Structure 1
Amino acid sequence: MFTDRIILVTGGAGSFGKAMVSKFLALGAGEVRVFSRSCGSFDNREREEVSVGNGSDKFVKDSQYGGKNDGKVKFIRGDIRDREAVTGAMTGVDFVVHAAAMKDVHGCERDPQGAMEINVTGTMNVVAAAREAGVSKVVVVSTDKACFPAGAMGLTKALMERMVLAECRGVREAESALMKPANAKEINGGSKTTVSIVRFGNLMGSAGTVIPLFVRQAREGRELTVTNPDMTRFMMMVADAVDLVLIALRHGQNGDIVIERAQAASIRTLVEGAVMFVSAASSKPSLKIIGARPGEKLYETMATEEEMSRAVGVNSDKKLYLRIPLDGALCDDLAEEFNSHNSPALSAADIAAIIRKLGI
């Protein structure tokens, strides 16, 4: 599916983006473009910048990424709020993974306008440019915080989802009326660009997560600072997030929301797991409870009751995935919302093993 294809990953310089790029290379992609305002940890590599188009865009070629990519990774410095830059990056692209976002909860609380411009306007720039360019499939990365949002980050992601789904609905209605949707090109014998959404939980080991903080505090013998030990969060490895995106690319239909039946853990369990990892034995940690901050909830919801009533399973030999079709038929009138309180729970030993695997 990905052999010799051109793939664009927005926000591709972060923890998830780097893993996604590596996966596409392993699957035989012909070219992977990383669209980002900065190259993140790639900045310590020697690169060549090449002007393209009218010279306003810069491709940054890194022939040493992963050691064996033969120049297949190209960096484009740009901002998703700049529609022209996004359009330029989309030329010839087959698949798009849109991960660029303002995702720091507290940063979004401080600058909700910026969160709105990046998470909503920027996303719609990506979707519109992809349809104009005739891209085959687009996967938009969202978050569990988009369900019943409590803060600016969740609110902007929720609005982003609604706007993407409304755009998909408009395309479908135009097709039903035997009309060509605005700004969409026919590809692959008449099919149109497919846009789907995935929701991530907390990505363990990625930048800004609490596990490295807990491990550091435990190693230093300090009190572990927690907001509320009873808070629960969906916990995913970065590799899990990569797999979820691949499922959406392979199975997602226009307007789908695709989720994993992810496991969850309480903050208390995360702390106990960090202490167990550091001390190699189960012990009761000393906690300093600082209380929840603006935008934080006691638990997160991956899919609402209404969404779960429409969800259908996706065949996979790895994990359990669900596809929530756009305006899909009722499949289960007894469905309950899927949240981090009623999901399968990770133990402290599980967390310790994950930390060991992450090499923190």
Structure 2
Amino acid sequence: MNEAETDGVESVESRLEKLRDARVVVTGGGGLVGSRLTALLCRAGAEVAVLDRMDAYPESGHSLFGVEKSEARLVVGDICDREVVAGLLREADFVVHAAAYADVAACTRNPDIAFRANVQGTQIVLEEALRADVRRLVLVSSASVYGDGPTDEPGPHVFHEDQPLFPLSVYANGKLWAEHQARLMLGSSSGCEYAIVRYFSVYGEPQIPKQGSHSWMVPWLSLQAKLGRPMRLNGGGVQVRDMVHVDDIAAATALALVEEGMAGRTVNVGTGRPTSIREVADLLMPYFPDARRIVTPRPEGDPLGGYASTERCRELLRWQASITVPQGVERYVRWLEATPEAVPRWLTEESA
């Protein structure tokens, strides 16, 4: 429904006209999602400021995302720096808080760093948004707050926004805390509205993996196949994910800033379709005929997964994902073939 004029719904672009000349701050705007969102907001005519440490990705990662070349004002800084956050939010009409230590495996290894970024940093952003009288803050959360879903029912599970939440990792626990804190601080009695978007599994060009991470399955599997290494199916690849292309994620997040029905609400941002890791590997095989697959243990904190209930997203955002997983995987592979310099050096050295 990104362009669902056929259903009588305005296009994303026309609805984002409400943001023309609005001042929007995007924390974490130098990452994959943040940079795509920033570009979309700039095209809509918003005045965008990005706050990002610009150190989350190895080598050329941030330059691939392109926020440094965008029309946005880039402030290289930390959300735990209250003075910097306050200065930016003092001038903001809207805020998207996407900054996080956003690697499940890394959060498990380094809970102290995860706490500082995902809890302490979020608290500072919420406090300064409230103090600055920002009109609306969109908090980026994660489907990881659902955990594996009901343990007494066979999967894959469909995750509904109002079901019990059972985070299974340090990262997921921090995201759930952020959701609760946003509700407590920016509830109906405050002058700042909030909206929460729970991202399911984001993928898409020019995403690249981080060393030591087991997230981002499309680039991981694609690069392993491209470099002649086996595609590692953790736990046999039975885990189910709701794979959402980054372009769809950016559109939904931008709409959460302007759709009136989103005030004080939480929505899943997903496709509503389950895809197993093994299915992603199967989609990649035609592009890499010599690739092979091996089964490896499932990492700690890696949920068996599920997929999004999208009824509320369609109702409140008037939106649904438009890029299918086969289309998104093909786009990624074509980009990878056209951009060989994007392959991380550390990964090619491991292959050698």
User: Which TM-score bucket, shorter chain as reference?
Assistant: 0.7 to 0.9
- For residues 270-281 of structure 1, the aligned pairs below 5 Å read 270-279=280-289
Contact 2:267 2:313 in 1 (8 A): no
Pair 1:295 & 2:292 matched: no
- For residues 1-360 of structure 1, the aligned pairs below 5 Å read 1-29=18-46, 31-38=47-54, 65-66=69-70, 69=71, 73-147=72-146, 148-168=166-186, 171-172=187-188, 175=189, 181=190, 192-205=191-204, 206-208=207-209, 209-228=216-235, 229-251=237-259, 252-262=261-271, 263-279=273-289, 286-300=292-306, 302=308, 313-314=315-316, 316=318, 318-319=319-320, 349=326, 352-356=329-333, 358-359=335-336
Distance 1:223 1:359, change over 3 A: closer
Which stretch shows the higher mean deviation, 254-263 or 135-144?
A: 254-263
Contact 1:146 1:157 in 2 (8 A): yes
Q: CA shift at 1:22, angstroms?
A: 0.7
Compute the RMSD of aligned alpha carbons. 2.9
Q: CA shift at 1:216, angstroms?
A: 2.5
Letter in 2 for 1:215: S
- TM superposition score normalised by structure 2: 0.72
| Cα deviation digits, residues 270-297 of structure 1 (max 9, x gap) | 1111112233xxx9x6322111111111
Distance 1:358 1:127, change over 3 A: farther
Q: Which has the higher contact order (CA 8 A, sep 6+)?
A: 2
| Cα deviation digits, residues 310-339 of structure 1 (max 9, x gap) | 8882363x5179xxxxxxxxxxxxxxxxxx
Tell me which protein shows more helix as a share of its residues. Answer: 2
Distance 1:198 1:291, change over 3 A: same
Cα distance in 2 between the residues matched to 1:313 and 1:275 = 37
Letter in 2 for 1:166: L
Distance 1:222 1:92, change over 3 A: closer
Cα distance in 1 between the residues matched to 2:230 and 2:312 = 45
Contact 1:13 1:42 in 2 (8 A): no
Contact 1:104 1:153 in 2 (8 A): yes
Cα distance in 2 between the residues matched to 1:215 and 1:311 = 30
Cα distance in 2 between the residues matched to 1:351 and 1:311 = 21
Task: State the 4+ residue runs in structure 1 displaced beyond 6 angstroms.
Answer: 42-45, 308-312
| Percent sequence identity over aligned pairs | 26
Letter in 1 for 2:277: I
Letter in 1 for 2:244: M
* Residue in 2 that maps onto 1:330: none
Q: CA shift at 1:131, angstroms?
A: 1.6
Contact 1:277 1:355 in 2 (8 A): no
Higher gyration radius (CA): 1
* Residue in 1 that maps onto 2:156: none
Number of equivalences: 284
Distance 1:109 1:237, change over 3 A: same
Tell me which protein shows more strand as a share of its residues. Answer: 1
Distance 1:310 1:248, change over 3 A: closer
Q: Secondary structure of the equivalent of 2:315? A: strand
- TM superposition score normalised by structure 1: 0.71
Distance 1:302 1:150, change over 3 A: farther
Cα distance in 2 between the residues matched to 1:310 and 1:235 = 18
Cα distance in 2 between the residues matched to 1:320 and 1:213 = 23
Cα distance in 2 between the residues matched to 1:203 and 1:34 = 20
